Amino acid sequence: MSSKRLPDGTLKSSRYTTVSDPGSVTARVVMAVVLVVVFLVPYLVMVLSSFKSLDEVNRVPPTLLPQTWHLDNYVAMWGVSETPLPHNLLSTIIIAGAATLLTLAVALPAAYYTAKFRFPGRLAFLFLVLMTQMLQPAVLVTGLFREFLALGGAGQLWSMILINAAFNMSFGTWIMHSFFANVPKEVDESARLDGASSWAILWRINMPLVWPGIVTAVIFTFVAAWNEFAASVVILSGAPQNQPLSVALFSFVGQYQTKWQYVFGVSVVAIVPVLILFAIIEKKLVAGLTAGAIK
């Protein structure tokens, strides 16, 4: 890849190749180190503090590194009296997992059909999807609370599965829509001429080409549902067992003393898996979120 240096130092190639001025590279590396430190420090403190004893985590003056490493915090936190943590983890997995499956089941056909076919109401549907994307559970939480109370869904996992699926299907629809739309029409048409059915065209021809979009939609939905807080805290307020980790975390915050070592232990357990998932789809995250606004 021939990457010429542009006026502002931009290289079109993602690979670091030719930069004439070694001084500016040094400055950039220094800047990069500063950035990494700024973004990493809070999470480093989080990890380090999760290994401290209750006494040390609340000590004046504070310590940075644990004096004794309490690896056992990661065992002890599952048996604390404040919140049924194993249940909370299970609830988080069930809510995020089921919401992701439901989102996929709902968004995939819609994305496929709106990308491939023109029909009256198509733009209206996409408009509705876009509107939903901009709305968040927080702004509708009173309505959601009243609705699920009336339906007997207060404190129930299925309420949160439905809510997470509904508010994330727009991202899934958009991202998969753009992948389906990029499959050349000729490919579909030649398959149709060969006598393939609509289902065969979707499964055999399109799926292999759009799977990166599907992976992105799946991971994004899973992470969003995993971290959801505003609706869970209201809908699941009366059911400690069904609360996800994000809500359960508050049980460790006491009026006089907070068991910070568990707050951070739970946080590390909650963050690491989704961070790995997010890193996998890093490059495609923007595409669905800004929904066609930038091309």
Partner 1 sequence: MTLTQSTAVEVDTPESTKNRPRRARESLRAAPWLAPGLILIIGVVLFPAGYMIYTSTRTISKAGVDRGPAGAANYETLFALPDLPGVLVRTLVWVVAVVIGTVCVSLLLAHFLNKAFPGRRFVRLMLIIPWAASVLMTTMIVYYMFEPNYGLVNNFLMQLSQHFDFLSAFSNADYGFTKRMPAAFIIAIFVAIFVSLPFTTYTLLAGYQAIPRETLEAACVDKASRWQTYWHVTLPQLRPALMAASIINIINVYNSYPILKVMTGSMPGFDADTTTTMMFKILQTNQRADVAAALSVVNFVIVIAVISVYMWLVKPLKSVED
Among 77, 100, 167, 176, binds partner 1 (CB under 8 A): 167
To the nearest whole angstrom, how small is the minimum distance from the Cβ of residue 261 to partner 1?
A: 11
Binding to partner 1 by residue 122, rule CB under 8 A? yes
Amino acid at the residue 71: L
134 binds partner 1, rule: CB under 8 A: yes
Assess 140 for contact with partner 1 (CB under 8 A): yes
CB–CB of 115/129 below 8 Å? no
* Phi, psi for residue 16 in degrees, rounded to 5: -80, 110
Contact flag: residue 1 with partner 1 (CB under 8 A): no
107 binds partner 1 (CB under 8 A): yes
* The one among 90, 101, 209, 277 contacting partner 1 by CB under 8 A: 277
Query: What is the Cα–Cα distance from 12 to 1, expressed in whole angstroms?
Result: 9
- The residue among 247, 220, 224 whose CA lies nearest residue 236 is 247
Q: Does 62 bind partner 1 (CB under 8 A)?
A: yes
Q: Does 65 bind partner 1 (CB under 8 A)?
A: no
Stretch that binds partner 1, among 70-78, 98-106, 187-195, 203-211 (CB under 8 A): 98-106
Give the residue, chosen from 81, 142, 254, 256, that forms a contact with partner 1 under the rule CB under 8 A. 142
Does residue 193 interact with partner 1 by CB under 8 A?
no
Query: From CA 287, how far away is CA 277, in angstroms rounded?
Result: 17
Asked whether position 54 contacts partner 1 by CB under 8 A, the answer is no
Q: Which residues contact 290 (CB under 8 A, 6 or more apart)?
A: none
Least Å from the CB of residue 216 to partner 1: 13
Nearer residue to partner 1 within complex by CB, 100 or 173: 173
| Residue of the chain from 135, 182, 187, 211 that contacts partner 1 (CB under 8 A) | 135
Q: Does 169 bind partner 1 (CB under 8 A)?
A: yes
Chain-centroid distance of CA 21 in Å reads 39
Dig out the tokens for 196 from the structure.
Answer: 């393939």
For CA atoms 248, 249, 254, 258, the dihedral sign is positive
Does position 158 bind partner 1 by CB under 8 A?
no
Q: How many CA atoms are closer than 13 Å to the CA of 33, on its beta-carbon side?
A: 5
Name the minimum Å distance from CB 129 to partner 1. Answer: 7
The only residue of 45, 75, 76, 187 in contact with partner 1, by rule CB under 8 A: 45
Which H or E element spans position 113? helix 85-116
**Angle at CA of residue 87, ends 215 and 222, nearest 5°:** 15
Q: Among candidates 237, 260, 238, 173, which has minimal Cα distance to 210?
A: 173
Using rule CB under 8 A, residue 256 touches partner 1: no
Please report whether residue 205 would count as binding partner 1 according to CB under 8 A.
no
Q: Which two tokens stand for residue 231?
A: 């609706």
Closest contact distance (angstroms) between CB of 19 and partner 1 is 6
Select from 181, 196, 205, 209 the one that contacts partner 1 (CB under 8 A).
181
**241 part of the interface to partner 1, by CB under 8 A:** no
Question: Are 226 and 96 in contact, with CB atoms under 8 Å apart?
Answer: yes
Contacts of partner 1 in 209-238 (CB under 8 A) = 223, 226-227, 229-230, 233-234, 237
HSE (side-chain half, CA atoms, 13 Å) at 95: 35
